[in-house]
């Protein structure tokens, strides 16, 4: 076992970059009384194109750091980390660190509800290359809803559009329309599309502009928040280890000034952030 703090601490939220701020925002809207500690590994982002082994190691470092800083529960607010690292951390690392702590992802909560959001039983996923290649959404949805057909398309330019403040630009129209059209050509019967990257809700005006009539867009924030609320209700022994002062602190592996500027795009409020280092 690793020697970790035992007193109540904040709920950790980890992402490779800034997109997890949309997950944090959704959670805070529903559960404002808890404390939160957000860690963005912005210096090593993006995770999407990286190998499983690299994503696992980076995510492992981040989760352990959040545990060392007092968190008993960590949410991987990152689809790539959830797809490539979550299961290994849960099975291999948690038992040796502290069997009472928990790490949860963002893919399972969306998979749990998608069956109630589709009539045709044909679902699409728009995500990063790493998430699509992992087929994590396909696998999770098939476990819960074996009658649903899942089709996915990678959208490699969508994250840069958000982070370079081009989400509202005319140039974004081309890239958004191209990937939506590609997905609908794969399966014209799709009637629900999961936004499988936490950056993508910031492209919502463009997505709604080009999505085909009758197709529902499914962002993750509210479903992750609902799932977390239910999880804490089912696990009171963990809930009492989550501190409640309605405080939020932010950490980044990059330049704090850059983080503050980007966080404004996602949260529309000023934040204070501290720089930390992960890894060797």
For 194: left if phi > 0, alpha if psi spans -120 to 50, otherwise beta; the answer is beta
Cα–Cα distance measured from residue 129 to residue 156, given in angstroms and rounded to the nearest whole number:
7
| CA separation, residue 73 to residues 6, 152, 231 (Å) | 12, 30, 11
The closest of 111, 139, 73, 131 to 223, measured between CA atoms, is 111
Whether 78 is catalytic is yes
d(CA 238, CA 12): 13
Active-site pick, 71, 78, 155, 242: 78
List the catalytic residue out of 71, 155, 197, 242: 197
Tell me if residue 197 is catalytic: yes
> How far apart are alpha carbons 78 and 74 in whole angstroms?
12
Yes or no: say if 152 and 125 are a contact pair by the CB < 8 Å rule: yes
- 191 with 215: CB under 8 angstroms? yes
Q: Give buried/exposed letters for 63-102 (b at 16+ CB in 10 A, else e).
A: bbbbbebbbbbbbbbbbbbbbbbbebbeeebbeebbeebb
* Catalytic residue ranges: 78, 197
């Amino acid at each position: 076992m690793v020697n970790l703090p035992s007193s109540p601490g904040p709920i950790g939220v980890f992402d490779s970059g800034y997109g997890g701020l949309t997950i944090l925002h959704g959670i805070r809207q529903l559960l404002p009384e808890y404390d939160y500690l957000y860690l963005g590994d912005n210096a090593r982002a993006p995770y999407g194109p990286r190998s499983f082994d690299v994503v696992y190691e980076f995510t492992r470092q981040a989760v352990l750091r959040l545990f060392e800083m007092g968190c008993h529960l960590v949410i991987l607010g990152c689809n790539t980390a959830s797809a490539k690292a979550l299961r290994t951390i849960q099975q291999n690392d948690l038992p040796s660190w502290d069997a009472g702590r928990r790490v949860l992802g963002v893919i399972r909560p969306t998979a749990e509800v998608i069956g109630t959001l589709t009539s045709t039983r044909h679902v699409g996923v728009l995500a990063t290359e790493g998430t699509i290649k992992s087929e994590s959404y396909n696998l999770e949805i098939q476990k819960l809803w074996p009658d649903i057909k899942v089709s996915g398309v990678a959208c490699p330019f969508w994250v840069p559009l958000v982070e370079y403040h081009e989400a509202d630009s005319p140039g974004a129209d081309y890239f958004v329309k191209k990937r939506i059209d590609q997905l609908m050509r794969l399966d014209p019967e799709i009637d629900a599309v999961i936004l499988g990257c936490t950056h993508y809700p910031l492209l919502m005006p463009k997505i709604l502009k080009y999505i085909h009539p009758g197709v529902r867009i499914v962002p993750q924030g509210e479903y992750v928040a609902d799932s977390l609320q239910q999880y804490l209700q089912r696990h009171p022994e963990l809930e009492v280890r989550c501190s409640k002062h309605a405080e939020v602190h932010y950490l980044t592996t990059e330049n704090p000034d850059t983080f503050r500027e980007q966080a404004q795009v996602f949260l529309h409020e000023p934040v204070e952030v501290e720089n930390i280092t992960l890894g060797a």
